[in-house]
Structure 1
Amino acid sequence: MKKSWQIFWHFFFWISMISFFMFIAHNNSKIATVNLLVTFVGYGAINIGLFYLNYLAFIPKFLDKKNYGKYVLYVLLAVVVVGFFKYGVGWIFHEYILTGRNGKTINFASYYTSALFTSIIFILLSLLLHFTVDWFLNERIQRDLENQRLTAELALLKSQINPHFLFNSLNSIYSLAYQRADNTPDAILKLSEIMRYMLYECNDNKVDLAKEVQYLQNYIDLQKIRFGEKCYVNFDIDGIISKQQIVPLLLISFIENAFKHGVANDPASPILLKISVDEGSLHFYMHNKKHLLNRDAAGGIGLVNVKRRLKLLYPGQYHLNISDINDTYTCELSLVL
């Protein structure tokens, strides 16, 4: 909030409070208007001045710097001096302030004690405001730091996807080149289309689901080029995907694992992939037969990555179930788009 607005709201608050208490006092007593003005406006200005003396001077200069001894000393000195000042104002307006309803003059001890009590209340109010503002500022700083940390972590996780994907894809193309396959150029062209999407379409927090599905299809096509006619994959889409959005590069790790660790050349056990979209939710299903001899000795980062991204980007809005038993691997993911 700009400083000018802060001053305005502080001014508005005090004017409102003084007016409110004057209205209450006027309706519940027969005190003269002049008496009310002197009491609430004059003494209100003194108390408000003490409030800001503590809030703007004593607290930042002594309390925030943990110089507690000086802080207590200056506050006590200010309260004592303001108490005498209030009595001086009361003496000037003797007939309105120091004269009771019975016509007798209020003695110094009673009046001064009351003045000290009021001053201490405004000191405590300024302390309460200070600690409240500090608490909210610290909360906001903590939230900002947490958001920055999560943003940095997500950026790191996303940056890991491209090298991981490229590493696996280049292995596939290397296999084609090693075999001197005629469709190697087609594989390279398909990879360039995939990388173009990853570089230029995935910079936003979410992308169109239709584009993400096309990206997955391109990857599957790349794998079909690699395996040739012996690649058996069933990829089904159910529901309307043109009006939905999803976090980019979220599902690719599952499909990569299906080709990397699964059996894609068995017509009896094809890789099954299905995406169903219904009323703002997505259900992804994958099932493949495992290639027991085709394991990544270094351990993959893909699934660890996607699990962490799901936790950060869809907290409480997803359910992931992975079944890795015997010679089959099944993955089911449901999330709110």
Structure 2
Amino acid sequence: MRRTSARFKLASAVAVTAAVATVGGLTAATGSASEPADIAPLAVGSPTGFGAGTTGGAGGDVVTVTSGDELIEAAGSDGPLQIEVEGTVSVDSMVRVTSDKSIVGAGSGATIEGSGLNISEADNVIVQNIVFADSNDDGINVQYSTNVWIDHNDFTNPNDGALDIKRASTDITVSWNHTYDSDKNMLLGHDDGNGSEDIGKLNVTYHHNWFDGVNQRNPRVRFGDPVHVYNNYYQDIGSYGVASTEDAGVLVEANYFENTDDPFHLGEGDSGDGSIVARDNHFENSGSGETGGSVAGIPYSYSPDAAADVKSIVSGGAGVGQL
């Protein structure tokens, strides 16, 4: 990511070899008319699971943002764009993210604090390598959106959820994130009465995330079937790990549960039961979980790690700075 950003800054500065464009008030590299810029993707790797088709802003210009105003302008702009977040960016309300965006942190210090990102009515968005800290709302909210990849981020101390996905959103992968100091961690489907929008949607893959001392909703699922929860590390979970409700179908596979009395169960609060199929999980000083019902088949190929290896793999590879 640093190499891409450095090339962008150099190209912007040398007018004889590269043209520039203005994107949301920021300067972006575009190359020249005869030799367009060969801009490598900021995002590292590619998603596995339901979000596998996500490319974000790949092929679009690159801008570096260092302030809340710059982030707001870039994230809400039209067309594909690759946004590099540098340093700590403070915002006081949720930042709208539009289609075809990659928002990627530079190095290991990129932080969005004060509020979070609202991926709303968007398609094809990547968020990677950013610390989301002390949001007055969610860390990230996803609604009415498709083809989203949330990868290698840290989430800490949100006022509400760390990462909430709702309102007919689908085809999403949540991978290699580290969440801590969070109560209502990851919600999938916001309301028992929203089935008319959500049935047939909310297909999400959660893999290789580190749920580190968080309390609940890891995830809490409504309606989505299948939802795939595999190779995650659950450490010192306070209330429960996974809850399947309102006819959801969740495959809980090859996860590592440590010091987690209630790894997974059916129903939650006033919500009716969903289904859980569990297989090949590892339990260390933890309960055995509750299963029941059936889950639709997983429609993609994948190769899970052995559950016994997940603790070391995920604690060593999840979160910011681990790309």
Q: Tell me if TM exceeds 0.5.
A: no
With normalisation by structure 2, the TM-score equals 0.23
Which structure is larger by alpha-carbon Rg, 1 or 2?
Answer: 1
Name whichever structure is richer in helix by fraction.
Answer: 1
With normalisation by structure 1, the TM-score equals 0.23
